[in-house]
Structure 1
Amino acid sequence: MNYRNVTVAGSGVLGSQIAYQTAFKGFHVSVYDINDESLEKAKERIMALKPRYQADLGASEADVNAAYDRMTFSSDLSRATAEADLVIEAIPEVVQMKKDFYRELGAAAPEKTIFATNSSTLLPSQFAEETGRPEKFLALHFANEIWRNNTAEIMKHPGTDMDVFHEVIEFAKAIGMVALPLHKEQPGYILNSLLVPLLEAAQMLLIREVADPETIDKTWMVATGAPLGPFAILDVVGINTAYNIGHAKAQVTGHDEYKKVAELLKSEYIDKNKLGRATGEGFYTYPNPSFADPDFLKS
């Protein structure tokens, strides 16, 4: 595994985390996004990660500053990928957007470059043809708060070269992840195959007016000992991601309840800039959400 230069395409919440974690582990990282405004927001997100790494990992100030110094930012895809050994795509969960991006990426990136999608719910085989290099394409999926929740699910599609599959497993280990190989395509991988039904069930309980988010979370936390309930998890994942998934399912299935979920997330959260932890408010208000109160789990 000779990867030294990594491009992360998409600088949202998780894209920014992937980029910084990779740089923290000694790789040179180029962050790509569609415009300079998005990149400025990414820089703010990444700067905010420095104290988290110091508090959670015991990193020194020199460590976190050196990681940032190994990063560059560009809204020019050819420039961002010029030296890339690996491109990790972390753009929104919209099929046509990803297809268009991979066509552009395939034309811009060097022939040597491996492509990996961080898609949470979509399969690499959906985009393999658009990459122009299906044998060098696979999925590499991370959990939010990557420096603490350090899983990396590596999922090949039927056309992925096995050498590439094993190289990306080694790369995941090199950036401090617990590498979890998947040998067959599975929508949602392992993590989201378990997590998404929980989050969907919570949202259905909400739109059916069975209970409010705090009560639903409290039930899950008390009964299972989990540190977070589903709505607190949705705030970490980001309301935009939850909306994109719900909206896509509404279109595919025609299911009225998925449509109601998407409408609720759009009108009551996204339109009001309540995007979760990233903006300081989602289902809860941060930095002091009610579920963190010692009395939250008491009767």
Structure 2
Amino acid sequence: MEIKNVTVAGSGVLGYQIAFQTAFHGFQVTVYDINDEVLSKAKEKFDILSDSYKQDLKATKEQLDATFKRLSYSSDLGKAVQDADLIIEAVPENPAIKIDFYHKLAAVAPAKTLFATNSSTLLPSQFAHETGRPEKFLALHFANEIWKHNTAEIMGHPNTDKKVFDTIVAFAKAIGMIALPLSKEQPGYIVNSLLVPLLDAATNLWINDVADPITIDKTWMAATGAPTGPFGILDVVGITTAYNINKMAADATGDPLKVKTVEYLKKNFIDKNKLGVATGEGFYTYPNPAYKDPDFLS
């Protein structure tokens, strides 16, 4: 199995980063999203992202020009995947949306195409049947700021073909990632199995009026030496993702604290387009959040 052409479905917080990183490392990449307006916004984000590659990776103008030439765009799913060896799904963290997407994808994708989900919290076995090709489906999960935090967690389900799994491990290495294969399914993989409880605990402290986000972040940073606190991390992850995860938990359990969290996030963040780093404001304002101030912990 050889991967040359990659389609990334979804140009949100991680989708556009995955697309750019893949193109930067020499692959032809098609970015798919629901309409041309969303794709236009993705192009703007690529321009900003290229500055980060210059600063953090010392990328040259020639490298970045070549990267942009390898990127193409389509809001027609059939056209977007017509030559795809691999499609990486990065649509919203909502099971119903993902299932609907896989039904549509299965109808138009070539038989050769491997499917990978970048889901943060959901298991590939939840969607394997919906893909129409369970043996060619697995999870490939990236961390935010992919060019710096270059982890790629590869997680199959019980029916994933071993050759497909090995192909994706090799692909992850080829796009500059530290490939991290998991031996069995685990909700949240490794990173989020560690990170989500931290963010959940911080959110609970805040919603329960124990302390405000800045105090909680100061506590974590001062006590552990971490460069960012949980609410700074939430801004990077994207508050929409936090909202979706909490909403799934609230819908499933009816937990009053989760319900309160969802309502508060929607009213004070989602509805006001305060979605974190991506929109310039979340718990902090960007590009110069307070937690980066030298006096933040004084």
* TM-score bracket relative to the smaller structure: over 0.9
Which moves more between the two structures, 19-28 or 39-48? 39-48
Paired residue total:
298
Q: Deviations over 1:96-139 (max 9, x none)?
A: 11011101101111000000000000000000001000000000
Alignment of 1:241 onto 2:241: yes
- Structure-2 residue corresponding to 1:155: 155
Q: Does the CA contact (< 8 Å) of 1:121 and 1:187 recur in 2?
A: yes
Q: Does the CA contact (< 8 Å) of 1:78 and 1:109 recur in 2?
A: yes
- Structure-2 residue corresponding to 1:255: 255
Extract unaligned runs of 5+ from structure 2. Answer: none
Q: Does the CA contact (< 8 Å) of 1:87 and 1:116 recur in 2?
A: yes
Q: Deviations over 1:48-89 (max 9, x none)?
A: 100100000000112112111100000000100010000000
- Structure-2 residue corresponding to 1:212: 212
- Structure-2 residue corresponding to 1:275: 275
TM-superposed CA distance for 1:264, in Å, is 1.1
Distance 2:60 2:206 in 1: 43
- Structure-1 residue corresponding to 2:77: 77
Q: Does the CA contact (< 8 Å) of 1:8 and 1:30 recur in 2?
A: yes
Q: Which amino acid aligns with 2:225?
A: G
Distance 2:253 2:195 in 1: 20
Q: Does the CA contact (< 8 Å) of 1:30 and 1:71 recur in 2?
A: yes
TM-superposed CA distance for 1:45, in Å, is 1.1
For 1:1-299, list aligned pairs within 5 A.
Answer: 1-298=1-298
The 3-state SS of whatever aligns with 2:222 is: helix
TM-score (norm 2): 0.99
Distance 2:288 2:157 in 1: 42
TM-superposed CA distance for 1:186, in Å, is 0.4
Q: Which amino acid aligns with 2:54?
A: Q
The 3-state SS of whatever aligns with 2:159 is: coil
TM-superposed CA distance for 1:16, in Å, is 0.2
Distance 2:266 2:254 in 1: 18
Q: Output the aligned Cα RMSD.
A: 0.6
Q: Which amino acid aligns with 1:230?
A: P
Identity across matched positions, percent: 67
Distance 2:108 2:256 in 1: 41
Distance 2:23 2:147 in 1: 12
Q: Does the CA contact (< 8 Å) of 1:13 and 1:45 recur in 2?
A: no
TM-superposed CA distance for 1:2, in Å, is 1.3
The 3-state SS of whatever aligns with 1:269 is: helix
Runs of 4+ with >2 A deviation = none
Q: Does the CA contact (< 8 Å) of 1:151 and 1:179 recur in 2?
A: yes
TM-superposed CA distance for 1:270, in Å, is 0.9
Q: Which amino acid aligns with 1:150?
A: N
Distance 1:118 1:40 in 2: 22
The 3-state SS of whatever aligns with 2:145 is: coil
Distance 1:88 1:57 in 2: 24
TM-superposed CA distance for 1:44, in Å, is 1.0
The 3-state SS of whatever aligns with 2:122 is: coil
Q: Deviations over 1:252-283 (max 9, x none)?
A: 11111111111111110111110100110000
Q: Deviations over 1:21-46 (max 9, x none)?
A: 00000000000001111111111111
Q: Which amino acid aligns with 2:126?
A: Q
